[in-house]
Structure 1
Amino acid sequence: MSGGTWQDAGALTAAAEAAGRGAAAADADGRLGSGTVEALAAAGFPGGFAPLAQGGSGAGFGEVTRAVAAIGEGCTSAAWIASLWSYNGRFTAYLPDEGQREVWAKGPGTRVVSSMVAAGAEAEPVEGGWRLSGTWLYVSGVEFADWALVSSAPPREGDRSIRVFAVPRDSFTHEETWSTLGMRATGSHTLVVDRAFVPEYRSFVWDDLRLGRPAGADAGAHVHRAPLFGVNGLTFAAPILGAARGALRLVEEQLGRPPSGARAAARESSRIAYTRAAGEIDAAALLLGRVAETADRGGLDEVGMAERSHRDSTLAVELLVGAVDRLFHVTGTRGQATSHPMQRIWRDVHAAGSHAALQFEPAAFAYTRRLVDAA
């Protein structure tokens, strides 16, 4: 594939270093620097889960999770974009083969964004396809996207009328609406389409994505047959895992310096907090590792495994957010300074952890549904 591959450790290291160097500026500017964007692309994230017939690298969920977390140790926003590039590429496997070929015509470095948060979308059936108009919220990375996948309406489980459309760069614009406390550099702005023609072969039924039923030549690939909610948590949890490890490293550095002043008296409690946070981060990594391993061996087809994986992803994020809270407290007033990376990590982790896909309660209800139905 063009650019790096998952086996190219040098390209991944370079991307992680670029993300870390640019993190503070990206947070201040509200967008990733061009050097970081290009380094992420060179590390192979756009093609990680792309259909094999279109030059995809054939990466597994475990590989992508580890790579995204490595980026997240330096910049949560950069890791978020890297992860979404990979997972949005996975979505293109649900397009008919002709649509896949068109999206990936320029190779596996193509940058695909998506939004299922339709705000006033209208898809009018016309000869050969649809006439699409509307706005879609929270489109991370839209500023440097080549293609976008957008839904005809907010998805509803089992609704076969809701479609996803692939729209090229010259058919959409964006409005700068993203200005938040955390994850500031994801550029999750509003995407706008005005009466764009979308041919039939550039569309698929959203419910097929939910169920893991791809349409193209790679329909037999387990990475594309994974049901959405069995792996969707990995998309957003992996950047948080990386960020938590970055916070842990900051406290390691602080504890490695001789104590002084008022903080010296609190040194023992800081060591205890650090140790507990380290254990929570390790536990979260093990949970996410099991989610990835289950998907990589095709185990999500087994009864209850998709629900368990959804549960594990959301529980891991709760552990990670709690660990970062603990570490943030250890750094005290110093960590709250705008020049200190801990406050950025703390803001990013709380913002990322609020994503709808990472909420524990819906996962708990889905996990226990079989028990309730059997009662």
Structure 2
Amino acid sequence: MTAGGTWPDADAIASAADLAGRDAADSDAAGGIGNETVEALTAAGFPGCFVPRRFGGGDATFAAVTKAVAAVGEGCASAAWIASLSAYNGRFGAYLPVGGQEEVWAKGPDTRLVSSMVAAGVEAEPVDGGWSLSGRWLYVSGVEFADWALVSSAPPREGDRSVLVFAVPGDSFTYLNTWSTVGMNATGSHTLVVERAFVPECRTFVWDDMRRGVLSGPGTTAQSASLFSVNGLTFAAPILGAARGALRLAERHLADRPSGARAASRESSLIAFTRAAGEIDAAELLLSRVADTADLGGLADGRAERSHRDSTLAVEILVGAVDRLFRVTGTRGQGTSHAMQRIWRDVHAAASHAALQFEPAALAYTRGLVTG
């Protein structure tokens, strides 16, 4: 990626999306996206789009990243998931002190970062100049081809200043092949393992600062957005793309005029298709408002809680739309060689992510209104 805020490169993103879509079935079967797709996503600039400018970052907006991730998701939700996390993990890296940033991006903005706050049995012991770190972290999407990892000292809790995030280079961690799921199988979200790695103080930051959007130094509006105001976009954008892919498949299915028993249900299928198309548009509008609000820096006065609510609500709408389209394609769409059943599996698996659950987002939004 060229330095100086040139992201996005529309041609490179289109090329990555096309490759990811062509390889989607093979990636799903293999349990991970291929090296060519990984390199194409990197060449499209996803890892560097939120990286600080002084290291060649792309000065991206949330709106642009959401659009680009959704474009990849139309062909492969798992590849879009990797693209999205790659982008947002670069944003997380901006919370490191300058010395840590210089280490992480010493080779340029396309350094691939992964992250996990799902800590399991972590030991972080203070030593001279930093920390001795050991532990395991679950569900680390893209760990197989990561250059650096951002991992927490414990499961984060709001307001807890003791929970740190550590930046660990690729030669200091391994992974256990623990990911095999009914959906989003190609994300390769395995378990990351660190054994007695030294992490200097300059490669740590407080998780709660990232939650609140408090940078240790200067940064962009995108870098300083509070975590839960935009975290939903990270995981909703691949689902939006996948829903569009399902809509395209259903359109092709309906273009083949049925005969026999299927002909009797054609009108109901056309109505279901139209409803799903409208639902996908509605979800996109909600996610666009989330992105635009963050890009304008307008996250005060309950708007961060509204954004979190909107992201989770959009995902509920998208899941319903994909269910509807899955039924439209009938038995054909359930065939193991048909892309619709993969999209249906991926969307349901992705929507189960903790950041996309409507109930906690709704409670945070409403409590802010009644107690504010």
TM-score where L is the length of structure 1 = 0.97
- Report matched runs for 1:52-63 at 5 Å: 52-63=53-64
What's 2:157 paired with?
A: 156
Q: Which blocks of at least 5 consecutive residues in structure 2 are unaligned?
A: none
User: 1:186-245: CA deviations, max 9, x gaps?
Assistant: 000000000000000000000000000011342xx1111100000000000000000000
CA distance in 2 between counterparts of 1:279 and 1:162 reads: 43
Pair 1:47 & 2:48 matched? yes
Structure 1 distance, partners of 2:370, 2:250, is 44
In 2, the alpha carbon distance for the partners of 1:207 and 1:7 equals 30
> In 2, distance between residues paired with 1:187 and 1:53?
31
SS, match of residue 27 in structure 2:
helix
- Aligned to 1:137, the other structure's residue is in SS state strand
Corresponding residue SS for 2:165: strand
Q: CA deviation at 1:257?
A: 1.7
Say whether 1:368 aligns with 2:366. yes
> Which residue of the partner structure matches residue 346 of structure 2?
348
Q: Deviations over 1:171-193 (max 9, x none)?
A: 00000000000000000000000
The structure-2 alpha-carbon separation of the partners of 1:12 and 1:42, relative to structure 1 and needing over 3 Å to count, comes to same
Q: 1:127 — aligned with what?
A: 128
User: Partner letter of residue 9 of structure 1?
Assistant: A
Give how far 1:7 is off: 3.5
- Cα displacement (A) at 1:261: 2.9
Gapped runs of 5+ residues in structure 1?
A: none
Indicate conservation of the 8 Å contact 1:2/1:108, yes or no: no
Q: Which residue of 2 aligns with 1:111?
A: 112
| Alignment match, 1:183 | 184
After superposition, the C-alpha distances for 1:256-296 in whole angstroms (9 at most, x for unaligned) are 12222321111100000000000000000000000000000
Query: Which amino acid letter does the alignment assign opposite residue 281 of structure 2?
Result: D
Query: Aligned partners of 1:349, 1:309: CA distance in 2, in Å?
Result: 21
Residue by residue over 1:313-369, the C-alpha shift from the partner in whole angstroms, topping out at 9 and shown as x without a partner, is 000000000000000001111100000000000000000000000000000110011
Indicate the residue corresponding to 2:213 in structure 1.
212
* Higher alpha-carbon deviation: 43-52 or 149-158: 43-52
Distance 2:194 2:8 in 1: 37
Q: Cα distance, 1:159 vs. partner?
A: 0.1
Partner of 2:83: 82
Equivalent residues of 1:162, 1:205 under 8 A apart: yes
Residue number in structure 2 paired with 1:274: 273
Alignment match, 2:321: 323
Give the secondary-structure state (helix, strand or coil) at the position aligned to 2:265: helix
**Alpha-carbon distance, 1:54 to partner:** 1.4
Counterpart AA for 1:277: A
Instruction: State the distance in 2 between where 1:260 and 1:202 align.
Output: 64
TM-score by length of structure 2 reads: 0.98
For residues 264 and 146 of structure 1, what CA distance do their matches in structure 2 show? 54
What displacement does 1:370 show? 2.4
* One-letter code aligned to 1:349: V
Shift of 1:373: 2.4
Q: CA deviation at 1:6?
A: 2.8
Query: What pairs with 1:281-320 in structure 2 (closer than 5 Å)?
Result: 281-300=280-299, 302-320=300-318
Structure 1 letter corresponding to 2:361: A
Q: Is the 8 A contact 2:131 2:201 kept in 1?
A: yes
For 2:185 and 2:359, locate their aligned partners in 1 and report how far apart those are by CA, in whole Å: 26
Residue 2 of structure 1 and its aligned partner are, at CA, apart by 4.6
Q: CA RMSD in A?
A: 1.2
Name 1:71's counterpart in structure 2: 72
CA contact (8 A) 1:95 1:216 kept: no
Instruction: Report the counterpart of residue 102 of structure 2 in structure 1.
Output: 101
Matches of 1:235 and 1:370 in 2, distance apart?
A: 23
1:32-70 C-alpha deviation (Å, 9 max, x unpaired): 011111110110000011111211100000000000000
The one-letter amino acid paired with 1:61 is F
Query: Hey, what's the Cα distance between the residues in 1 that align with 2:67 and 2:76?
Result: 14
Runs of 4+ in 1 over 2 A off after TM superposition: 1-7, 370-374
Q: Tell me how far apart the structure 2 counterparts of residues 85 and 216 of structure 1 sit (CA, whole Å).
A: 22
Q: Amino acid of the residue matched to residue 189 of structure 2?
A: S
Counterpart Cα distance in 2 of 1:176 and 1:241: 28
Distance 2:368 2:22 in 1: 48
The one-letter code matched in structure 1 to 2:343 is: I
Q: Which residue of 1 aligns with 2:204?
A: 203
What residue in structure 1 maps to residue 239 of structure 2?
A: 240
